[in-house]
């Protein structure tokens, strides 16, 4: 959609320039430093547009080449990262995190089990409800 809009705008501008050039077809005198020439205004307008387009193209080519080179370098780095395995420190860190996660899961499971057992017991003695509150607060932390 974006390219279609761009193409339509370019064609409209080109049509306006050509229409403007054809309407102004009278010959004019151009003063080159050493000589004077009579040239139709149509040629001056169209050649000016073409020269402007060439200058713009040359000016943007450097930027386009830089961006393409950067994209290629980044794609190469991405492929290298995808292909390379984790280094030793990363694997050790990852396994340490996995162990801590498992320990936390076991502790949490144990706390839940104790809480359920505490709730199932009869809350006849006041220490029982205090312990339940303590377990609840521990789980919140």
The model's pLDDT over 19-30, given as tens digits with 9 standing for 90+, comes to 888 888 888 898
Segment holding 95, helix H or strand E: helix 88-120
The strand pairing partners of 36, in sequence order, are 31
Higher pLDDT, 2 or 102: 102
Q: List residues bridging with 31 in a β-sheet.
A: 36
The predicted pLDDT at position 96 comes to: 87
Three-state DSSP class for residue 61 = helix
Q: Which residues sit opposite 39 in a β-bridge? A: 28
Q: How many angstroms separate the CA atoms of 67 and 79, rounded? A: 18
Q: What is the pLDDT of residues 46-70, one digit of tens each?
A: 888 889 989 999 989 988 999 999 9
| pTM for the whole structure | 0.46
């Amino acid at each position: 959609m974006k390219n279609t809009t761009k193409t339509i705008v370019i064609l409209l501008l080109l049509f306006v320039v050509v229409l403007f050039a054809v309407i102004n077809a009278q010959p004019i005198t151009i003063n080159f430093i050493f000589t004077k020439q009579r040239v139709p205004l149509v040629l001056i307008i169209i050649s000016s547009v073409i020269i402007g387009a060439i200058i713009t193209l040359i000016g943007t080519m450097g930027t386009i080449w830089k961006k393409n080179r950067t994209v290629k370098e980044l794609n190469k780095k991405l492929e290298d990262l995808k292909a390379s395995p984790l280094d030793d420190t990363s694997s050790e860190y990852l396994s340490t995190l996995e162990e801590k996660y498992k320990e936390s899961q076991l502790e949490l499971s144990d706390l839940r089990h104790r809480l359920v057992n505490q709730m199932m017991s009869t809350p006849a003695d006041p220490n029982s409800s205090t312990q339940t509150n303590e377990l609840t607060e521990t789980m919140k932390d």
